[in-house]
Amino acid sequence: MSGLGLADLAELAGEIYARAPAARDSHDGDSSDADGDGGKDAAFEDRAVRLETTFQGAGVLTGDLTPQCAEVVRAVLDALSAPADAEDTRSQAQRYHDGLQEAMTSTTDCVLLCAYHHQVMIHRQGWTLVLNPDGTTTAWNKERTTVLHSHGPPARAG
């Protein structure tokens, strides 16, 4: 990895996500705006991701991504696909494959949040959330004038 943890990637994705609505909302529409929404749907009509299963469970992944989605995917893959060391002989495509698998399967630094805390506090209000090694979280606002600490996770049964 290139030194970015999943918490860093989540923060980067949040920043990209936060900017994306502004880009979509600035679209001024055109004469083909039949539904009166300012043409906002036009950029999204052709969006798609397809996964076909091939020989022995292998797959082929193809897609047509919106610019915002492509930006997020590229940021995650770039962060997770750096050469492991000077002797890493994998091609860029192979490193992207391995980075995609890591992004899909890693739960390191993941925290389950309700929709309010995820969307409003993190994305809209710009709070930063960090998972501490003991399972607690620490959050702070943009100005770092407010810092909050969570309680620990529940004890394991048994």
Q: How far is CA 9 from CA 36, 48, 81, 110, 149, in A?
A: 36, 23, 13, 11, 22
| pLDDT one-digit tens code per residue, 77-128 | 888 888 989 999 999 999 999 999 988 887 666 777 788 887 788 778 888 8
- The amino acid occupying position 115 is A
pTM: 0.49
Residue 17 zone, left/alpha/beta (φ > 0; ψ -120 to 50; rest): alpha
Mean pLDDT lowest for which of 1-10, 77-86, 109-118, 140-149? Answer: 1-10
| pLDDT one-digit tens code per residue, 52-62 | 999 999 999 99
Task: List residues bridging with 131 in a β-sheet.
Answer: 137
- What is the spatial distance between Cα 58 and Cα 52, in angstroms, rounded to a whole number? 8
Highest mean pLDDT of the ranges 12-16, 58-62, 67-71, 100-104 = 58-62
